[in-house]
C-alpha cells in the first residue's frame, strides 16, 4: 500500500487551482477521427471495410466520454451542496466504483474508492463524494495521483478535521499486456489531518473498509 501524507492547502481556491487542467489547443473531431484511422492503417487494417467504417467516430466518442473529467470543475459539481452541520464523527462513503484510464497505455483501471472525512462544521452531500471520485477518475490517470486529488479536493473544500482515501484497483495494462497478471490489484492511500496524526482514527477507518476485493 502506498501511504501519502501531505500538508493542508490553505483554501478551496488553492485546491481548485492546483488540480485544474490547463487549456490546451483545440483539436477538432475530424482530426481525432483521422488519428484513429491512421492507427488502424498502422495495424494493417482497412478502415474502409464495413466493420471499421464508423470505428474512428466511435473511438473518438468513447475517449471523449472516458475523459470528460477534464471538462468538469469542483464548483459545477458541488452546485452548492456544502452544508453547515454540527457533526464531528467520521463520514465514510465506501465501495465507490472507479473506472479510469491508464495514462501510459490508455487501458482501463477498474476498482473502488473508499473516502472518509471528519467534519469541522461543514458536510457535503454524500453523492458529491462519489462525483468527486468520478470527475478525477474520468481522466488519463495514475492511481497514485487520483488518490491524492480526491483527498486534497475534500480537504480544501471542507477544511475538515481530516480526510482518508483508499483506492483499490486492477490495471488492465498489467492484466492484458506486459506481465499479464490477472487478479493482481493495487492499493493506494492518502491521509490528511487527524487520519495522518492519530493512529487510532486511521485504524478505525481501515477496519471499516476491510473486505475481500473482487473486480471480476
**Catalytic entry in 104, 197, 203, 211:** 104
| Known active-site residue 71 | no
Query: Is 114 labeled as catalytic in the residue annotation?
Result: no
Is 103 catalytic? The answer is yes
Query: How many residues does the structure list for the chain?
Result: 216
Burial class (CB in 10 A: 0-12, 13-18, 19+), 126: exposed
| Nearest in space to 52 (alpha carbons), one of 38, 34, 40, 65 | 40
Q: Single out the catalytic residue among 45, 72, 103, 144.
A: 103
Residue from 114, 134, 141, 171 carrying the catalytic annotation: 171
Residue among 50, 53, 15, 61 nearest 37 (CA) = 53
Residue 143 among the catalytic residues = yes
| Among 8, 34, 105, 204, the one annotated catalytic | 105
Catalytic position from the list 34, 72, 173, 204? 173
Among candidate residues 102, 133, 141, 149, the one labeled active-site is: 102
Clarify whether 211 is annotated catalytic: no
Residue 180 designated active-site? no
Query: Which candidate in 141, 143, 149, 161 is catalytic?
Result: 143
Distance CA(17)–CA(11), nearest Å, equals 10
Active site residues: 102-105, 143, 171, 173
Amino acid at each position: 500500500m502506498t501511504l501519502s501524507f501531505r500538508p493542508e492547502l490553505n483554501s478551496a481556491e488553492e485546491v481548485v487551482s492546483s488540480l485544474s487542467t490547463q487549456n490546451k489547443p483545440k483539436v477538432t473531431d475530424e482530426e481525432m477521427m483521422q488519428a484513429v484511422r491512421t492507427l488502424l492503417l498502422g495495424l494493417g487494417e482497412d478502415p474502409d471495410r464495413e466493420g471499421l467504417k464508423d470505428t474512428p467516430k466511435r473511438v473518438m466518442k468513447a475517449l471523449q466520454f472516458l475523459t470528460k473529467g477534464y471538462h468538469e470543475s469542483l464548483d459545477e459539481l458541488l452546485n452548492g451542496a456544502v452544508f453547515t452541520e454540527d457533526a464531528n464523527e467520521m463520514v465514510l462513503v465506501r465501495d465507490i466504483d472507479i473506472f479510469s484510464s491508464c495514462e501510459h497505455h490508455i487501458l482501463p483501471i477498474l476498482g473502488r474508492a473508499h473516502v472518509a472525512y471528519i467534519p469541522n462544521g461543514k458536510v457535503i452531500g454524500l453523492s458529491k463524494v462519489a462525483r468527486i471520485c468520478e470527475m478525477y477518475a474520468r481522466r488519463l490517470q495514475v492511481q497514485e495521483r487520483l488518490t491524492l486529488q480526491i483527498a486534497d479536493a475534500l480537504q480544501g473544500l471542507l477544511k475538515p478535521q481530516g480526510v482518508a482515501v483508499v483506492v483499490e484497483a486492477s490495471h488492465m495494462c498489467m492484466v492484458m499486456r506486459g506481465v499479464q497478471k490477472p487478479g493482481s490489484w493495487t492499493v493506494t492511500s492518502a491521509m490528511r489531518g487527524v487520519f495522518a496524526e492519530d493512529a487510532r482514527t486511521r485504524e478505525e477507518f481501515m477496519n471499516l473498509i476491510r473486505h475481500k476485493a473482487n473486480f471480476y
